[in-house]
Amino acid sequence: MKSNESVGELFELCMLGGSVERRFRRMRPEIERLPWGTLNPAAHSPELVIEARKSWTHAAYQEHRTGAACAETLRALIAARAPVDLIGVATRFPLDEMVHVEMCARLAEELGGGTHVEHDPRDLIPVPSLDLPPLLRATECVVQYFCVGEALSIPLLRGTWRAAKHPLIKGVLGRIVRDEALHGTFGFTFLGWVNDELGDADRKHLALSAARVVQSIRASWDNIPDVSGYESAELHALGWMDSHDYLALAKRSLEKRVIKPLAKFGIFVNEVAN
Ligand SMILES: [Fe+2]
Ligand SMILES: [Fe+2]
């Protein structure tokens, strides 16, 4: 997904509180059982704490965008009259993402507060054209948001969860990993259902769409913060993998979890990418 942080509005969040917050908590009671209030920024170097605040603020923003992607997909699935049970399963995804947004924002808060992120709320995510036939449009949403974005994020989150040492950060990442496992497999379940309806031109269209997302993901790897000067133990405490390990896992996972599974459905990302 392309990043829109250079212009626009400040990315700030709020909670309504009261009975609405209590209802939200009842929907996901496991979140409040995490050991909130146990991060101690004074225990780490100030520069690393600033990097961690930036990183968790950025994570909250990415989860926010993924929430929009899940909601956009739901609308497209409904318009395409996808199977009701499949849509029903996907209705949980925007809630999951809002929970992830809140958890990442709370981690930034515990470390001293969120950092400055600007964005254009009118251009949160790349959206397929409304002129497409509804089924192809729904499939394009699923391919770009789930078969690429979500499928790739799962191994990376799992790797970061394994490396994390602090109980709160490990707990947050563990919760996200469990939710995302279902998001990642959803995309390919949908492709299994829609496969017979897709013609060659549709598969080419989907490959081009996936290739655009893959290209922006590869470009984002250049912006991974350089934390090579810090001890692994310190990085792992605050929820990072070593940059080198992360990049190697990302490249491997892109081939294994995205490019190859899409090729099984005749969606050949490498053939259309330049
Ligand atoms: Fe998420
Ligand atoms: Fe997700």
CATH code at position 194: 1.20.1260.10
Token pair of 133 as six digits: 């036939």
Q: Ligand 2: distance of its center to the CA of 219 in Å?
A: 21
CA of 95 to the centre of ligand 1 (A): 9
Question: Considering its fold, how many domains does the chain have in total?
Answer: 1
- Cα 177 to ligand 1 centre (Å): 8
Q: Which ligand is nearest to the CA of 98?
A: 1
Give the dihedral sign, CA 115/120/126/128. positive
Q: How far is the CA of 194 from the centre of ligand 1 (A)?
A: 25
Distance, CA 93 to ligand 1 centroid (Å)?
8
8-state DSSP, 31: G
Domain that holds residue 66: 9-272
Q: What whole-number percentage of the chain has pLDDT above 70? A: 96
Model-wide pTM > 0.85: yes
Ligand 1: centre distance to CA 92 (Å): 12
| Coarse DSSP helix, strand, coil percentages of the chain, rounded to the nearest 5 percent | 70, 0, 25
Q: What is the pLDDT of residues 215-230, one digit of tens each?
A: 999 998 887 767 767 7
pLDDT interval class at 7 (50, 70, 90):
low
- Answer yes or no: is pLDDT of 108 > 50: yes
Q: Is 127's pLDDT higher than 90?
A: yes
Query: What is the pLDDT of the chain when averaged over all its residues?
Result: 92
pLDDT of res. 5: 47
Gap from CA of 152 to ligand 1 centroid (Å): 12
